Amino acid sequence: MEKSIKDISLDFTVAIPTYNGLERLPKVLDQLLMQTGLEQITWEIIIIDNNSSDKTFELIRTYQASHNTDFQIKYFLEKKQGIPFARHRAVSEASGEFIAFIDDDNVPATDWVTAAYNFGKEHPEAGAWSGQIHGEYEVKPPQDFKKIQSFLAIREYGSPTHLFDPDNLRLPPGAGLVVRKQAWCESVPAKPNLRGKLPGLFVQGDDYEALLYIHKAGWKILYNPAMHINHQIPHWRFERDYLLTLARGCGLCVFQLRLINAKYWEKPIILIKTLLGNLRRVLQHFMKNKNYLSNDITLRFEMQFYLASMMSPFYCLKCWINSFYLKN
């Protein structure tokens, strides 16, 4: 980690990783400039440009030159492609005690920063926390979309505060996530195993990987219902090919994620449970829905996720073999 927790000089950092976000960023930045209740909070906004080919840099220069507030908007270029690298860069550059990750299609409520900051102060045991993420859809979602909406980072859990369940991979997405810088710097390895969405590679799990390390270090991961974000969902995210690719990517990371906090003797058990448990889910899903699978994209999504989860140990083995040959 290029920076340590000793570099904390502000209360709060909003970090926005972006790739070709010229069209999306203004709505997010304008909403952040309208945040309320921050008179006693020192904060900053940092943009992590992950190799954009559009005019993202010029856009940020315009905001830097025109905004007249008592906080800074900073810009950094991260050349290593992939959102895990962008988030690691954000942590290394952030000066806030708390660091909030907002994607360039996340529009926070005007009290989002205040709600996030106050929650962190009230819960010193929390290494990370997240709130409600609501969908704003360009087109109508498919039938029974609520069954799979969490895969598109839509999370609406109601009003009670509660603990997430890392042991069963029930965790919040990276979008709208707030972390305690101390927890991240002391827990999360600088080199991620899961690299996120890249050209030709759509394996997910990068959001969960960091959270599992934070959990392993003894920090709690909490849900704060007072934090609200609207997630902008364009029409193409409901196209068949995108959804099935997403389902596959979410499934292929399952075995690797379950190994992070596993003891050595537990790993063979996790292997067997991953293979047989998901085989059972595949067979049950097919027998129950075989007459509808060809026409129902939500059912197809679930089937693809179960199949990819079943295959995730073999994908993990492939990654280990590739890594071995690259080192040698």
Quick one: which of 233, 231, 194 has its CA closest to 210?
194
Quick one: which of 285, 179, 159, 127 has its CA closest to 227?
159
The pLDDT value given to residue 298: 97
For helices 25-32 and 56-66, the axis angle rounded to 10 degrees is 20
The pLDDT value given to residue 328: 57
How far apart CA 281 and CA 308 sit, in angstroms, is: 11
Residue 32 Cα distances to 71, 85, 109, 252, angstroms: 11, 23, 8, 35
The pLDDT value given to residue 192: 77
pLDDT under 70: residue ranges of the chain: 1-6, 195-202, 323-328
How far apart CA 13 and CA 168 sit, in angstroms, is: 30
How far apart CA 5 and CA 183 sit, in angstroms, is: 9
The pLDDT value given to residue 201: 56
How far apart CA 195 and CA 214 sit, in angstroms, is: 18
Residue 265: CB atoms within 10 A of its CB come to 7
The pLDDT value given to residue 197: 58
Cβ–Cβ under 8 Å, residues 111 and 227: no
- CB burial of residue 33 (10 Å; 0-12, 13-18, 19+): middle
